[in-house]
Structure 1
């Protein structure tokens, strides 16, 4: 095999630089001399290495599971070793996935981003010369205006609450903008009522400070004064022996309050989006909103925030007329 590789190099030496010839030599040796059954080219082995790398980077268990299931599904469908997959294979896979499952463009772009991360890692680790996903650009997704909670909606929800706990949950969600997973993970020890702040653990186990208003402080104080248990969790279930409140428990409770209040569909994420929208609407710099919400990328923050059209009109008159 070495003789054949040398023949190729001799024929290409007039067309390639010495650096390019060396790269070509290593590539030919990897492709021609390495058995496809070896651990270096085994799909399961490469996927395990990639997931380990992402875990070291701080990805959560939930994110790792999503990466794994997405890449495994692609692997089973394409049915090729990762190092042999080309751009056309991935284009066909994404197209078939969309048509067969009737998914939206957002879902397809999420899959594309995960595959891009994986194949970029393969390229960085020299398992492939070039990532096949490079030629597949970001999928254009429709921009939809998502609703937020008005001041009237919030007051109606508060009036509907019969439990001090529910009132405290509504106020801490709307004043901090924390995720529902961060909410249920809070302990009493994480909350500083005096300074109206709390330490939340977000995605990737990253901690940050979240801040709440005076109304939230008062409702939290009343709720904690009612508590007669020794559970360290900030919010506990009203039943089930006062166990820590779960994500599904919060979601179901808010849906029920929303139906009773007649304010439409209410879910934890709607409070987060409402906070981001109001913060930007009132002039808070987008970088500070990003820190407030715990986003790694500012692009993510922009997806949460709606801009009041009246403010756009006023700014146009102020700056452009």
Structure 2
């Protein structure tokens, strides 16, 4: 069996498990990379040494994080082949990812957030900005959310995360005010919370959300690189600075592992100094 045949079976299995189209697209790109550079990879003839030699050649031009993504995909693919009986053994079971230094996640300072708010020219821009800033959601979660998912009384929303996992997130009263202003200004019947401003009206795409934030950053003359995930980092840092325990932040971000939360939201210098003076 060739990888192309195995991929079709693997993709169907992951779709049944609820993997998002974006995740499967990323996996397919990994497969293309392997086909393009590592054409000798075949299901029954693959060896650990061959793959290590291939990855060693790529390490000089690819970041450790990209190499890690490729290794995780190969492990997942061949684990599936072994568990489903398409291969008698899994040669990549013990293939390890490269070590990566945990970096402090980039966040937006309060001044940048204020400039972004001032730069908003429409109710949609302000509502989108407030929701990203106060909910800590992935951009994919924001893109999929519907009006009916909102609970106005609790200032909360049900979002669908990776693997179709649902969780409840919260937003501020200020966000609630701008969401209601935005929805009142709309004249369409689309169920999506955030929609396009062109006809026909439809759900905003992820690239459109990113573009809207870039435009606000340009209008506000903000030097920092503004993108949706940066609001998630900012959200986590705000909670940490305000004294929220890591377990609470982990739940709010929807992380399964505490280690992921630590990478997303490192303590800022002023918070570290405060804790040092309190406990030493």
Judge same fold: TM > 0.5, yes or no. Answer: yes
Residue 92 of structure 2 aligns to a residue in which SS? helix
Question: Deviation at 1:305?
Answer: 0.8
Equivalences for residues 208-227 of structure 1 within 5 A: 208-227=167-186
| Matched residue, 2:54 | 93
Q: TM-score, normalised by structure 1?
A: 0.78
Is 1:282 the equivalent of 2:242?
yes
Residue 71 of structure 1 aligns to a residue in which SS? helix
Equivalences for residues 107-256 of structure 1 within 5 A: 107-128=66-87, 130-256=89-215
Mean Cα deviation higher: 204-213 or 122-131 = 122-131
Cα shift readout 1:247-283 (whole Å, capped 9, x = no counterpart):
2221111111111112222111111111012222323
Mean Cα deviation higher: 125-134 or 305-314 = 125-134
Question: Deviation at 1:69?
Answer: 3.4
Residue 232 of structure 1 aligns to a residue in which SS? coil
Distance 1:43 1:267, change over 3 A: closer
Residue 248 of structure 2 aligns to a residue in which SS? helix
Question: Deviation at 1:296?
Answer: 3.5
Structure 2 CA distance for aligned equivalents of residues 43 and 266 of structure 1: 39
Equivalences for residues 10-89 of structure 1 within 5 A: 41-75=1-35, 77-89=38-50
Q: TM-score, normalised by structure 2?
A: 0.89
Count matched residues: 278
Mean Cα deviation higher: 68-77 or 104-113 = 68-77
Q: Which has the higher contact order (CA 8 A, sep 6+)?
A: 2
Residue 289 of structure 1 aligns to a residue in which SS? helix
Structure 1 CA distance for aligned equivalents of residues 243 and 205 of structure 2: 34
Question: Deviation at 1:126?
Answer: 4.7
Structure 2 CA distance for aligned equivalents of residues 310 and 164 of structure 1: 34
**CA RMSD, 1 decimal:** 2.2
Pick the structure with greater CA Rg. Answer: 1
Long gaps (5+) in structure 1: 1-40
Which of 225, 229, 233 lines up with 1:269 in the alignment?
229
Mean Cα deviation higher: 52-61 or 189-198 = 52-61
Mean Cα deviation higher: 309-318 or 170-179 = 309-318
Long gaps (5+) in structure 2: none
Does the aligned pair in 1 maintain the 2:78–2:92 contact within 8 Å? yes
Does the aligned pair in 2 maintain the 1:74–1:93 contact within 8 Å? no
Greater share of helix? 1
